[in-house]
Amino acid sequence: MIKALKFSLFFLLVCFYSASFGQNVPVDFEFNGNGAWWSWRVFENGQNPPLEVVANPDTSGINKSPWVAKFLAQANGAPFAGCETKHGSDIGSFTIDQSNMIIRIMVYKSNISDVGIKLVRSDNWSLGEIKVMNTKINEWEQLTFDFSSHFGLTYDQLVVFPDFSGRFSENIIYFDNIFDVEYVAPPEEPPTLADATLTLPNVFSPNGDGVNDFYSPKFTNADWIDWSVYSRYGQLLFKTKSLTEKWNGWNFNKPLPDGVYYIVAECGSDETGNVVKKRSSIHLVK
């Protein structure tokens, strides 16, 4: 009987110790996660509007989470207006060590200002907040706080100062994913290489009116081109490998008469290796 009681007491102590030193992270504000149902208290913020859990204002950036925290920093609030968890029961009790000394938070702000994070002991003692300024506005950014100087200290309360600055108007700050892993951007996909294309117009009018006076193939993504114009009898009238040169409808410094001529052209892309070859007729009309 005594042995059973001792075992039960030991089991309860182990459970209590584990519960007391369990850290409820990451704070992601999801309904089945941490933060959404906590007893957040807002302080030094005018009328102290409560912290809200709202839909993510921008899921196109680095934060894909459906739900985030929304803090309304009032104009008459103190620069250090913020919100804090309830001692022990929310974030839990934890000791700063190698695994949790780096604290990260994602913020979405319309202004540039410091964001502060403070850890508080169960007797309300603290070393004070650490502040990091955001560098981006109107998009999610992950900020990193180094608490390695707190190594070995045990805390049970988290305090967030979303807009640690004086302000002349209300600022809305969204924050999320506290104590989360470092965000690493996915590798950029290599650009898609495009094949060369070639189109041969079939009419032009070299009459000097400034409209369609010169002829050249139409091409895209070509690194080289080679094209020639022939008479209906097979006589070579014009040839070029220039990407910019055009034919004016002349041969041996003389304008050619109206009629049908023939073009042979090819071009290609060095990047993709494709080659396009085409033949067509040209109607020269003045």
* Average of per-residue pLDDT across 156-183: 97
pLDDT score of 192? 87
Per domain, the residue ranges of the chain are 17-176, 197-284
Q: Before 191, cis peptide (omega within 30)?
A: no
* Average of per-residue pLDDT across 163-171: 95
**Paired tokens of 18:** 């584990």
Q: What is the pLDDT of residues 70-122, one digit of tens each?
A: 999 999 999 999 999 999 899 999 999 999 999 999 999 999 999 999 999 99
208: part of which helix (H) or strand (E)? none
205 vs 285: CA distance, rounded Å: 5
Taking the model in full, what pTM does it have?
Answer: 0.66
pLDDT score of 12? 38
- Fold held by 197-284: Immunoglobulin-like (2.60.40)
Q: What is the pLDDT of residues 19-71, one digit of tens each?
A: 345 799 999 999 999 999 999 999 999 999 999 999 999 999 999 999 999 99
Q: Before 26, cis peptide (omega within 30)?
A: yes
Average pLDDT, the chain: 92
Q: What is the pLDDT of residues 223-271, one digit of tens each?
A: 999 999 999 999 999 999 999 999 999 999 899 999 999 999 999 999 9
**Paired tokens of 248:** 């004016």
- Fold held by 17-176: Jelly Rolls (2.60.120)
